[in-house]
Structure 1
Amino acid sequence: MSKDYFLSSLIKCIRKLYDKKIIAYPTEAMFGLGCDPTSEKAVKRLLDLKKRSIKKGLILVASNYNQIKMYINESKLSAQQKKTMFFHWPGPYTFLVPANSLVPCWLTGQFDTIAVRISAHFSIIKLCNVFGKALVSTSANISNMSPCLTREDVLKDFGKDFPVLYGHIGNESHPSKIINIVNGKLIRYV
């Protein structure tokens, strides 16, 4: 990976995030689309772009727990549940956790939970660290279509000027597993 090209694309993506725009970036298994989770306008723009229902809720991805802590109602998590999450993080595990009552419905959808992941992927770590907070993370595709696996796929599907963080997807062959930490139910395992 060209360090200069990566840094240039990182700066461009961070500027877009601050401007409440959507970006694409490599994740563990595919390219993702992301935006600032505190911007209703950005999140709704992302949902429109994907043709995704707001009712489904979204995943937040972070480089560390402090970036997602404010979204979680920790009083509803046991020490064992937290231990389980931290055992799997950082990594390709997304947990549905009780949402803090202040988390907006554009993130939780029709649920009282929020999906969160602490990633081990270099690009996500850099993005979240430089941006200073978690990102909305969803696959880079129109709903029910195949996800983008390369930068070129993103540019083909979303336009040649779409902001894409330079880099490669990780070694996972499937999207992250999603586990409801409260009841232990496996929501997505592919």
Structure 2
Amino acid sequence: MQRINAYTLRAHLKRGGVIAYPTEFCYGLGCLPNHIVGIRRILHIKKRPQHKGLITIGQNFRQLAPLLKRLPENDIQQYQQIWQTDPPTTLILPARASVLPLLRGRRRGSLAVRVPRHDVARQVCWLAKNALVSTSCNRAKKRPCRTERETRRQFGRDVLIIGGKTGGYKQPSQIMNPFSAERLR
């Protein structure tokens, strides 16, 4: 990962700025999950419908916990084990009422969350001292950016790019509802 000043990163995010960073499969677009301006910028940049909702990542479960309803400790331990195995998995968990509808998705009471297996993605959350929105770096219905060069070419003026290599996975994270064991992606 290129060196990035933590203060610069946090200031950019607090202003509603959007970042691009490598994840397991492709580059991701991110912002603070409680910043309506940042989320709207991501939706505008991607040309993504507002009703779909977005994934949120954290360095660890502790960063995601403020967005989620209280969960039993046994469940949390199970989720942490899932996040350490292949393939990368995003879980649909009950969200707090305070989570922005644009983040959850319209009329949804849950939130898609993941602790990434990619070191740079986790490090960006650590530097930000916060969970982050994480959605593929692409315009709606287009192929995601897999390299820093592609990301700069398509989004260079709109986002702060944190360089690095993606994790080499051939597919995005699977999305699962752990309560119903339903696989959504």
Q: TM-score, normalised by structure 2?
A: 0.90
1:82 corresponds to 2:76: yes
Q: Which amino acid aligns with 1:60?
A: T
**In the alignment, which residue of structure 2 is the partner of 1:116?**
113
Deviation at 1:12, TM superposition (A): 4.7
Aligned counterpart, 1:176: 173
2:75, 2:174 → 1: CA distance?
A: 16
Q: Are 2:144 and 1:144 equivalent residues in the alignment?
A: no
Post-superposition offset of 1:171:
2.5
Shift of 1:158: 1.4
Q: Per-residue displacement from partner, 1:10-32 (whole Å, max 9, x unpaired)?
A: 66544421321011000001000
3-state SS in 2 of match to 1:171: coil
SS at match of 1:153: helix
Which of residues 171, 179, 182 in structure 2 aligns to 1:185? 182
Task: Give the alignment partner of residue 153 of structure 1, picking from 150, 154, 166.
Answer: 150
Residue 79 of structure 1: how far off its partner (Å): 5.5
RMSD: 1.9
Cα offset for 1:84?
3.0
Of stretches 10-19 and 119-128 in structure 1, the one that deviates more from structure 2 is 10-19
Count matched residues. Answer: 182
- SS of the aligned residue for 2:3 comes to helix
How far apart in 1 are the matches of 2:14 and 2:120? 17
Check 1:178–1:25 CA distance in 2 against 1; reply closer, same or farther (3 A cut).
same
Deviation of 1:159 after TM superposition, in Å, equals 3.2
Cα distance in 2, alignment partners of residues 31 and 11 from structure 1: 22
Residue 115 of structure 1 aligns to which amino acid in structure 2? A
Distance 1:161 1:103 in 2: 25
